[in-house]
Amino acid sequence: MWQWTFKNMFSTPLGLASSIAAAGCAFSLVMFFEAVFAGEAEQIVAYVEHADADIWVMQRGVSNMHMSTSYLSDWKATQIADVPGVASAEPILYLNSVVEAGGKQWFSYVVGLDVPGATAGPWAMVAGKVEPGIGEAVVPDVLARMSDVGLGDKIRITDQNFEIVGLSDGTFSIANPVFFITKTDLEDIMTSLDITSFVLVKAEPGVNPTDLVDRIESNVEKVHALPAKQFVINDRQMALQMGAETIALMTVIGGALAVLLVAFTIYSQITRQRRELAIAKALGVTNRTLYLTVAVQACVITLASVVFATGFTLIAIPLTNAFLPQVTLLLMPISVVRIGLVGVLVAVAASIIPARQIARVDPLSAFQA
pLDDT at 247: 65
In this structure, the answer to whether residues 180 and 132 fall within a common structural domain is: yes
How far is Cα 90 from Cα 105, in angstroms, rounded to an integer?
A: 30
Are residue 106 and residue 148 in the same domain, yes or no?
Answer: yes
Could you tell me the pLDDT band of residue 361, with boundaries at 50, 70 and 90? low
Same domain, 217 and 254: no
Q: Are 46 and 171 in contact (CB under 8 A)?
A: yes
**In-domain check, residue 282:** yes
* Same domain, residue pair 135 and 199: yes
Residue 92's pLDDT band (boundaries 50, 70, 90)?
very high
pLDDT in the model for residue 365: 59
Verify that 37 and 148 share a domain, yes or no: no
pLDDT of residue 2: 62
> Which of these, 316, 315, 301, lies nearest to 258 by C-alpha position?
301
Last residue of a domain, one of 221, 252, 272: 221
For the chain, what is the domain count?
A: 2
| In-domain check, residue 236 | no
Are 98 and 123 in a shared domain? yes
Task: Tell me which of 188, 221, 254 is where a domain ends.
Answer: 221
Q: Is the distance from CB of 306 to CB of 339 less than 8 angstroms?
A: yes
Predicted confidence (pLDDT) at residue 152 exceeds the cutoff of 90: yes
Q: Last residue of a domain, which of 190, 221, 252?
A: 221
Question: Does residue 194 or residue 187 have the better pLDDT?
Answer: 187
Counting residues of the chain whose pLDDT is more than 90, the rounded percentage is: 44
Residue 330 lies in a domain: yes
- Can you tell me the mean pLDDT for 281-306? 80
User: What contacts 122, CB < 8 A, 6 or more positions away?
Assistant: 130, 138, 166, 168, 169, 170, 171, 178, 180
pLDDT digits (tens, 9 = 90+) for 98-150: 999 998 999 999 999 997 777 899 999 999 999 999 999 999 999 999 999 99
- Mean pLDDT lowest for which of 3-17, 216-230, 308-322? 3-17
* In a domain? residue 231: no
234 domain-assigned: no
Res. 208: pLDDT tops 70: yes
Residues 79 and 200 in one domain: yes
Which pLDDT belongs to residue 4?
61
Are 67 and 205 contained in the same domain? yes
296 and 270 in a common domain: yes
Q: Which domain holds residue 101?
A: 61-221
Q: In which band, very low, low, confident or very high, does the pLDDT at 24 lie, cut at 50, 70 and 90?
A: confident
- Is there a domain that residue 164 lies in? yes
Q: What is the dihedral of CA 245, 248, 254, 257, to 10 degrees?
A: -100
Q: Give pLDDT, residue 178.
A: 94
**75 and 212 belong to one structural domain:** yes
pLDDT of 366 > 60? The answer is no
232, part of any domain: no
Q: 339: closest CA among 277, 231, 245, 251?
A: 251
The residue type at 213: V
User: Are residues 204 and 288 located together in one domain of the fold?
Assistant: no
Q: Is residue 55 part of a domain?
A: no
Same domain, 213 and 256: no
Query: Tens digit of pLDDT for each residue in 231-274?
Result: 999 988 887 776 656 666 776 777 777 777 777 777 776 666 66
